[in-house]
Structure 1
Amino acid sequence: MLSSPTPAPAADDDRPAAAGHPRMTDWDDPALVEAVRTGDMQAAGALYARHYPFAVRAAGGIGNPGIAEDLASEAMTRVVAALLNGRGPDRAVRAYLLTTMRNLFRDRLRKLNGEISVDPLEEGAMDRPEPDPTERALERRIVLDVMAELPERWREVLWRTIVIEEPLPVVGASMGLNANAVAALSYRARSAFTKAYVRAVSTAAA
């Protein structure tokens, strides 16, 4: 995670000051964005510190504070990286951040669904047309609903082991378990998710 900036004195005009100029945290977003694009890591830290709490709140609907923080952290890191590479938003930082979070969460849900719910090589799967956007939206909705039905501990272990691919010892340290217990918990959670997903898909297709 990028470090927060050190406080600093105010500029004499509205233009971005040089790196290290006082009161950088008082700059507006366009000024910080312009500074980050020049490679100013203090400005990057100020932008990160300003919008990270908002990102955590926006991700709070996932249902687990640790998972929300992981998602917010990665989304903020991607926004800053985009700016450092000359891309990203010019003004609407939070709108860009929300879009980044939605895309990231969507990709992670697709990964979660693909890894533990259905076999992509089942008979005839390769001949099927790509699902349309409505089907994809329904699939994501089903995955979200199924995840919401699982106990919080199962949601957390699935997210950490499959979606963000944390090593078992790291997951265990976060959850107060040893690696073997994490593996067993993950197996039970995967099994429960698969059964619930199949039931939900069958109900939706009925």
Structure 2
Amino acid sequence: MTTSGVVARGHYSAANDDRLMALVRAGTVSAFSPLYERHLAVARARARHLVPRCPAEADEVVSEGFLRVLEVLLVGGGPTRSFRAYLLTTITRTALARKRREAQERLTGDPAADEAAHTRVDPQPYHERAVEGALERSFALRAFDRLSPSAREVLLYTEVLGLSPAGAAPLLDISPNAVSSRAHRAREALRAAYLDAHVTRRPLPPGCAHVVGELGTWARRALRPRRRSIVDEHLGRCGGCRGLADELSSLNTMRGAEPPPGLLTTG
């Protein structure tokens, strides 16, 4: 690296992420270096969580993810805040895209056929949907396992078995109206847990545990006012939890937090 490059990097290293993104968006590519250095470790952790069997491929996912974010910023797009959340979502999508390409190559034995497949009218043929569906199903099942026994039970009857509230009421020993109410709460809990399941947990201080467990619900804006106030207060003074909360909010916006219909019943 040239001396001028070192000076430029040092000059921008004190700027916050939002300022650095604005500089890159204005054409100052050297302002991207501090962003890369700040977020490289967490980007690697996310990639190795998604591609656990091949560290080299995980590193390629990291490089591709950073490059995609840089390209988006240079054309004036991308986030204006929460760089880390945007980056981690990009890395997740990059890893998924690689899994789809690998599935195509296994089926055809021809990498060129994979490129041709991406030019078809259907941008996501059956085998690609199967790869992504398998990953999403694992998220849904992980979320389902995190629910309370009563929530799992009502979802088993109403969502998996397809029983009406009247049909499930005798099995749960409650009224049909109570079944509907419990199922509604259980579905919202599943949405929050499904969203939360997409995020790789990072070690946090013990004082953060009570907040981290509620961030999926917080991102869904489903916390009760008093709890939301407590979480907001904590996020205002804890950078680690703030980053995780921003990531969940980004995922909620960019991917959605609704498990696809029938995801718990198909394999």
Report the TM-score when normalising by structure 1. 0.49
Report the TM-score when normalising by structure 2. 0.39
